[in-house]
Structure formats: C-alpha cells, structure tokens
Amino acid sequence: MNKFMLAQNFEQAGEFEKAKQIFEDLYQQQPGNFQFFDALNRVYLQLKEYDNSIIIIEQRLNLNQSDFNLYGLLGKTYYLKGDEKKAFETWDEVLRKFPDNPTSYRTMANYAIERRAFEKAIEYLNKGKEVTEDPRMFSFDLANIYSLTMRYKDAAKEYCSLISSYPNQYQLIESKILSYINKPDALEQTIDAVEEYSKGDLVEFDYLYARLLMEQDELDKAFEIYLEIDKKQNNLGTDLYNFANFAYMEKEYELAVKVFKEVIQHYPNSPVISSAKLGYAKTMEEALNEKSAADNNSWKPFYKQEEANAEETEKVVAAYNELAELYPHSEVAGESLFRIGKIYLYKKNDLASAENYFSRIINDYRNSRFIFDAYKELAEIYVLKDDFTSAEQNLFNIVENNRAGEDQKNLARYELAKVKFYNGDFSSARNHLNEVLNNLKDNIANDAIDLSLLLNTNMNDSSNLLIFAKAEKLIAQGKYEEASTFFKNIASNQQGFVLQNRVKLRLAEIEIAMGNLEESISVLNEVSSEKEKNIYADRALFLLGRIYQYGLKDDIKAAEMYEGLLAKFPNSLYLDEAREEIIKIREKVNQGT
C-alpha cells in the first residue's frame, strides 16, 4: 500500500512514467486486485499507451465475461485510440450478450456520453426503454442528452411522455424543462411539443403549457388556460391566486388586478381570499405608483414627494381599510394599516394621519412583522416634526427588541447615528456607526462608511461640521432653501477641503431638488473636472448623466456622461448603475422611442 500511495503521488504530480513503473510492478504481483488494475489502466491512457490498456482489460475480461464495465472501458480505449468503429462494436457486443438486462444499456450509454458520442448514447437508451418495465431513467437521460445537444423539441417530447405515464412527477419534470428554457430556440421548440399534449385530459399539461406561455410573456393567454384549470381542479381559486402573484411580480398590474378580482368574486370562501384581497389592494397601489412614475422625481438625490391623484389614492386606502376591518388583528390587517400609513406619509404629506396608523400597529399588532417598520416610519415623522427625542426612542425600540432582525437593527442604528449627527452629538453618532460597520455585508454599510468618513475627516473643523449637520437636518426635513444658506456659509470658509468638496456636491443636489437644473449642471461640471482632487468627482458625473437623462430628456448627452464615468473612474461605486442606464438608453434608441 505504501508503494501504491507513492505511485498515486507521482500520478497526481503528472509524473506518469514513474507512476506506471510502480503500478506495473504491483499489478504483476496481484493481477486480481481491481484497484491496481484500474490505476495502471488510468496511467496507460494518460500516456496514450492504448495497446497496453487493451491488453490488461482483455486479460481481466477473460476472467470475468459478465462485467459490463470492462467492456465499457475497452470501448473507451478504442475510442481514445481513434478506432470509433471498434469502440462501438465493443459496446454493441455487451447488448448482444445481455439483451434483456436494462443495466447493460445504461452502462454503455454512459460510456458513450463520456466520449460525447451522443447519437450512440441515444441509440442505446432508446433500446433500453424497450426492454425495461420502468423506462423513467432512460427517458430522463434521453431528455437530458437532447437538451444538451439543443434538440429541445425532442427533449420536450420525452418529458411529456414521462408526464403522461407519471403525472405525480410533474414538479420534477417542470423544473428540468425550466432549467434550459432560456437557451436560444428552446422555448419555442418546447411550446410546439407541449401544445400537442395539452389537448388531452391531463391537467398537468395545462399547467406546463401555461407556465411556458408565462415565460414567453403571453400572460393573457396563460390566464385563459388558468381559468380552464380552475374549472377542472375545483381548488377554490388557488391556482388563479398564484398566477395573479406572478403577474404582480412581473409588474403586469392591469392583468394582476383582473385575476385577483376573479378570485375575490368567484371564491369568497377560498382559503386564499384574504391574501387575494391584499394582493388586489397592493396591485392597485403599484398601478397608481406606475402611473405617476413618468412625472415623479425619484431620480433626484432628494426631493419633495408630490401629492398623488386624490381620488385614486382614496380607492387604495379604502381597499386597505376594508381589509383591516374584515380581518382584525391578522397579519393582513397589520400590513394594510402599514401601507395606509405610508400612503399618508409619502403620497398625501399628512403626518398626523400617518402617525395614527403606525401607532395603531404598535399598540394593537405587537406580534406583527410590520411593527419594526412602523417604529422606523414613526421616527421619520418625528424627524420631520423636529422631535428628535421621540425619533430616537422609536429607533431604540427596534435596536433593543430581540425579535428584530439584524438588518432591521442595523438600519435603526444608522438612523440613530444620523439623528445624533443632526444634533451635533458626533461622539454618539460614531458609536452607532461602529456597530453598523461591524457587519459590512449589510445593505446600508456604504452609507454608514460615508457618514463615518465625514465625521472622522472633519473632527478638527467642528464649527463647520456643526453647520453642515444642521444643513443635513434641514435637507431631511425638506427645507432645501434654508439648507442651501448653511452650505453656502461653509463654502465661504476655505478650511477643510474634504468638507468643501462635500458642500459643492450638496449645493448641486439642492439645486436639482429645487428644479434649478442649469445651476446644478454648472456646479457638477466644476466638481467632475477636479477628478482625483475631489473624491466626489465620479458622483458628480453620475448625477450629470441623471440630469440629462431624466431632467432634460437628452439621452445622447446622458450617455456621454455615463461613458465618461466608466472611462475616468474604473473603480467607482456607480459603475453598475451607469452601465444599466447606458443599456436603457440604447434599448430606447433601438426601439425608436
């Protein structure tokens, strides 16, 4: 065994001649030892000594004529030697000797697959299906080879045949089809095959056909099939509900509303009725958001939320209120109240009503998963009202609760750091930030790093930092003109270049918030031209791109800014976003819109 291990080490190091000498010696001593035989054959193949490989395999075959694997190994050696005809004859011999043994067909097919002789493997597998009482494994292997060789229609037919015989394995088969469906031509070929089977009685083919249509973005057609499935299955709208959720996730809100309505109207006693009603209300809300998206200012670094269409907003609020009344003290009610609160806060600018709804969750829904979101939104309201003591208390309620997730606690710590910063308590702000920075995988880690950098690099300029903090508080409260006055005060004081650079960027962002785009372009051009002298130069270029793209609707100039960012700042945090915007612009140009 020590000699065997030494030979293995030589083999692993690529010293095959040295390994061969030892393996040959061991094989001569114990020709019946399979481990020694297998190792020697492996090295012969590595050294391309195919005749020696054939000799030892045939010697072993003389001792055991019923070992399928030896025939497989012998055929493999002939194949590697370049004698494809002899390889196939060797594998064929096994099937002549053992014509009724399904294992022989699968074994030879596997050797053919290993050598990428796919047509031969398909031949063996099809023959194997004919001699076995359970053709499933042959069919799965055939379908896999067909998909590997881009014969997607043949693969789909094989899978459909499996569904016909074993409908209880539908989920497994669907997952295998979906694993290759995004490859070129796969979806079209698969739909062609499935359409032929979907005309029968098995509902599994309806499910599969509908799922493929969803992949093809033919959601209306898929909906018609789900209506038929619903009639056949009599499962109280569950499938329709799942389809509505899919449409919602795909942002097909008009269709999602239609499907949710179908469930609500026809299945009032369905186990998913409360979820369907919530989905209906959420979809109406998202549709409302989408309608106002073209006119919103969400591309800006900060902005005042414009009041949404009052009539349509009230419809959404009414739908959520109905849910809260129908299912009191349920999670559906908790989410409904939370969403109403956000509508009042961000769409209607009604702080008092928003505060009322978030407080209801905290007082009446102590076990709801939305309670921590409610605390966070209440803190936001108190910052707007200049009540920082109450804001801190609500954030501490998240940090100190064992039920809160670590990401929720970290977000609360970051918000606490900002509140402390606004009030000039820089030491406490740093302490909260350090807790966040212990987990750099968190989503708000970059924001925490940014604020920490600001604090640490400007501690020697505490007077300007205090003014900066007051200005940041005013921005958080939407008081942009007042904030601008404070920033300009710092700009007139030339101490502390890091803070000066940050102030320039903030002044540009305030101009954007107030709609003064030409003024902001002037400042951002100045910042971006400073390149490595200003650590915010890449951010300035990115904002210039956003102004041209969304503010001035000048896609050519926007693309120029984004491409400049990619060229000048290859390590920028904004690279991925810039690339995404370039792709959007190119698609828009290609579509002629």
- CA distances to 52, 88, 104, 107 from 71, rounded to whole Å, are 16, 10, 10, 10
**496 pLDDT above the threshold of 60:** no
Helix and strand counts by DSSP (H, E) for the chain: 32, 0
- Are 3 and 25 spatial neighbours (Cβ–Cβ below 8 Å)? yes
Helix axes 170-178, 136-148, angle to 10 degrees: 10
Q: Hey, what long-range contacts does 556-560 have (CB within 8 A, 24 or more apart)?
A: 558/585, 559/585, 559/586
All structural domains of the chain with their residue ranges: 296-404, 516-593
Quick: pLDDT tens for 48-95: 999 999 999 998 888 888 888 899 999 999 999 999 999 999 999 999
Q: What is the reported pLDDT for 450? A: 86
Quick: pLDDT tens for 553-566: 999 999 999 999 99
Identical topology for domains 296-404 and 516-593: yes
Query: What is the spatial distance between Cα 210 and Cα 227, in angstroms, rounded to a whole number?
Result: 11
Q: What is the reported pLDDT for 507? A: 94
- Are 180 and 159 spatial neighbours (Cβ–Cβ below 8 Å)? no
pTM given for the model = 0.74
Quick: pLDDT tens for 229-277: 888 888 899 999 999 999 999 889 999 999 999 999 999 999 999 999 9
**512 pLDDT above the threshold of 60:** yes
Question: What's the whole-number average pLDDT of the chain?
Answer: 90
CATH class for the domain made up of 296-404: mainly alpha
Length of the chain: 593
Quick: pLDDT tens for 114-146: 899 999 999 999 999 988 888 888 999 999 999
CATH architecture of the domain 516-593 equals: Alpha Horseshoe (1.25)
DSSP class of 183 = S
> Count of alpha carbons within 13 Å of 48, Cβ hemisphere only?
2
